[in-house]
Structure 1
Amino acid sequence: MPRYAFKIEYDGRPFKGWQRQTDLPSVQGTVEAALAKLQSDVPGIAAAGRTDTGVHALGQVVHADLRREWEPFRLAEALNYHLKPAPVAITACAQVTEAFHARFEATWRSYTYRIICRRAPLVHERGFAWGLRGGLDVAAMAEGARHLLGKHDFTTFRATHCQANSPVKTLDEIWVEAVPLSAGQEVRFHLKARSFLHNQVRSIVGSLEHVGSGAWAPDDMRRALEACDRAECGTVAPPEGLYMTGVGYPMDPFTDGWRDR
């Protein structure tokens, strides 16, 4: 059976997360329903990572095995047709070898978290960013974030119901970006690692918000990390500001496939 890789973009608001759930809307279930319009017995699709309720994606990667061969452009077009009106889109498609696995072959995953600081409530960005009325000290947050780089026990920033075998992860990149707005400021947090613990990104961002607001000093991020105690974590940032932005592989499966330009 030919195997295909897909890059997927979605608005997480209508879904109870990525993973298929009985009688609840999920992104996986929506994509599988669209595939079933093309082939009734498609096996379940495998994704690079799961996202929680309300979390968005710009670069989720999945693979699926189909009975017949498709030209990647036509396959993406057919799936996008059957995905309507759900806020899910295939932005790249490629035929890959049987050795490719969207989850197990991934060498890194990247996420971006958005905070918009302004006194007025969010309108157009509501559901797509965390809105805060007060400003944030970006330099202080960047200083605090540096304590998290590298290999650490991230128990403090791990959900209590996380199913990972170990809390030890290596955070390859974390940086904070300020984007001026006509009213207020947007702050973006960019993180990259081979894999993440459940709620790790949102826990880190929520704790860094404490630094940015002045409730914590930058060195408190080191203190919280070294405590290895979930009780030392700051507020967990809400899901609507989080985006899965990309997944890396030893060889880019979409280099010779179809990509929306």
Structure 2
Amino acid sequence: MRNLKCVIAYDGTNYHGFQRQPHQTHVATVQGRLESTIKQVIKQEVDIIGASRTDADVHAEGQVFNCYLDCSIPTGKFSLALNTRLPNDIVILDTTEVDAKFHARYHSQGKKYYYQVYYDQFPSPFLRNYAYHVYHHLDLDAIKDALPYLEGKHDFSSFRAAGCNASSPIRTIHNLSMEQKDNLITFSIYGDGFLYKMVRTIVGTLIYVGYGKLAPAQLKEILAAKDRKAAGPTAPGYGLFLEEIYY
């Protein structure tokens, strides 16, 4: 039995997230598409293990999964065989054979996401599935002042959505930055792991800072509250991209 590690990219627009939905086989998920396509290639049932359970509409440039297969297809040809059968919004970027003990989720040492916000009076038809459009003026200097409060090791309970089953709310954000190019603002966040909807709640809270509804220093108070009601709204999924998984 071989353990294959695959790096994939996908446009999450047409999917209800990465993870297959139990008892809902009619719901399109990235995992479901991958498993059905692998079955076409090797004529065997397979359960893949994803590194990150991205939500509906969330995209990925460097998602990782592993799976155990009893087949002799070379790794390079395995990627090609899947890509010729997968829909054009899912692509296998790389396949390697790894140690039998490798687990895509449990062996992850860190993840990097970015989130796009389009800041203009009118929306862009070309970014409607890839950036959150905000109409109001944003104080970008205030947002930059708020970023350092979230870096480091903290209890992120205030940024944790209901339904999160993580055993601990403690996470470390190694780096949180913001860049602007014309009307597109990109938040980049790298950490050891993230709670359910944590990145999107951070972005929604930072946008509130940009609106002037929160002062930058209030991020410290929001963290200390350990209460989801203390933070801002959850930004929509379509602006979020899983950039890379670190091992």
The match for 2:151 is 149
Distance 1:39 1:133 in 2: 50
2:68 aligned to 49, 57, 65, which one? 65
Q: Secondary structure of the equivalent of 2:42?
A: coil
Is the 1:42–1:66 contact (alpha carbons within 8 Å) kept by the matching residues of 2? no
2:177 aligned to 175, 178, 196, which one? 175
Q: Is 1:28–2:51 an aligned residue pair?
A: no
Cα shift at 1:99: 2.1
Q: Secondary structure of the equivalent of 1:38?
A: helix
Is the 1:152–1:170 contact (alpha carbons within 8 Å) kept by the matching residues of 2? yes
1:214 aligned to 208, 212, 215, which one? 212
Q: Secondary structure of the equivalent of 1:82?
A: coil
Q: Provide structure 2 residue ranges, at least 5 long, that are not aligned to the other structure.
A: none
| 1:193 partner amino acid | G
Cα shift at 1:235: 1.3
The match for 1:8 is 8
Percent identity of the aligned residues?
Answer: 34
Which deviates the most, 134-143 or 44-53? 134-143
Is the 2:39–2:46 contact (alpha carbons within 8 Å) kept by the matching residues of 1? no
Distance 1:135 1:66 in 2: 52
Is the 1:157–1:199 contact (alpha carbons within 8 Å) kept by the matching residues of 2? yes
Is the 1:48–1:247 contact (alpha carbons within 8 Å) kept by the matching residues of 2? yes
Is the 1:17–1:53 contact (alpha carbons within 8 Å) kept by the matching residues of 2? yes
Deviations 1:140-160 (A, max 9, x none): 212111101111111110002
Cα shift at 1:42: 3.6
5 Å-filtered alignment, 1:1-261, equals 1-21=1-21, 22=24, 23-85=26-88, 87-180=89-182, 185-249=183-247
Q: Secondary structure of the equivalent of 1:211?
A: helix
Is the 1:121–1:131 contact (alpha carbons within 8 Å) kept by the matching residues of 2? yes
Distance 1:120 1:72 in 2: 46
Q: Provide structure 1 residue ranges, at least 5 long, that are not aligned to the other structure.
A: 250-261
| 2:56 partner amino acid | T
Distance 1:153 1:187 in 2: 27
Is the 2:6–2:93 contact (alpha carbons within 8 Å) kept by the matching residues of 1? yes
Cα shift at 1:216: 1.4
Distance 2:90 2:116 in 1: 20
Q: Secondary structure of the equivalent of 1:25?
A: coil
Deviations 1:165-211 (A, max 9, x none): 1111111111111112xxxx111111111211001000000000011
Cα shift at 1:225: 1.1
Q: Secondary structure of the equivalent of 1:136?
A: coil
| 1:50 partner amino acid | R
Distance 2:155 2:205 in 1: 16
Q: Secondary structure of the equivalent of 1:13?
A: helix
